[in-house]
Amino acid sequence: MAEEDQKERLDRELIELLNELRIALPGVQVLFAFLLILPFSNGFGKLTDAGRVVYFAAVLCTMVSTALLIAPSTYHRIRFRDPDKEHLIQLSNRLAIAGSVLLATAISCAIYLIGDVVFNPWVGLVATAVTVVTFGWFWYALPLSRPPVRRQ
């Protein structure tokens, strides 16, 4: 199999990145929809002040995560004829990682709210800690735990 040249590699990396974002976006959209309808439900008025702060943090993190995860596609559409695809891929990679951090934060906030409302604040805190550790391990620590493989 022939080695791919620089242009082919950049095209492949961009396609891979955009495909990965297509996987993440429906989850963000579902979470955002859930959070947007929550204030209109009957039990929302029973939230404590702390619960309202966590709720608003979840909404804000979801909004910024949505913006960051969609930004690479928008950037690509606006600058699609630019020859500097390497910059697009590097910037998009950073945006996607930042978006995933905020998505994990938003999900953790939502888990806290659910645990707090269904049980009590301590259950919410424990469930949130488990959520943070789960995302931290599978999304960040696991990929970072393997040393990079260098091309020859």
DSSP states of 47-100? --HHHHHHHHHHHHHHHHHHHHHHHHHHHHHHTTT-S-HHHHHHHHHHHHHHHH
Q: Are 124 and 116 in contact (CB under 8 A)?
A: yes
Rounded to an integer, what is the distance from CA 43 to the centroid of its chain? 27
This model's pTM is above 0.85: yes
Three-class DSSP labels, 111-146:
HHHHHHHHCCHHHHHHHHHHHHHHHHHHHHHHHHHC
DSSP state of 148: P
Per-residue tens of pLDDT for the chain, all 152 residues: 568 888 899 889 989 999 999 999 999 999 999 999 999 988 888 889 999 999 999 999 999 999 999 999 999 999 888 888 899 999 999 999 999 999 999 999 999 999 999 999 999 999 999 999 999 999 999 999 999 888 76
> Which tokens sit at 15?
């396609």
Taking alpha carbons only, the member of 87, 98, 95, 106 closest to residue 140 is 98
Length of the chain, in residues: 152
Sign for the CA dihedral angle at 126, 132, 134, 137 comes to negative
Q: Are 104 and 68 in contact (CB under 8 A)?
A: no
Q: How far apart are CA 110 and CA 133, in angstroms?
A: 15
Give pLDDT, residue 1: 56
The domain limits of the chain are 6-144
Q: How far apart are CA 56 and CA 143, in angstroms?
A: 30
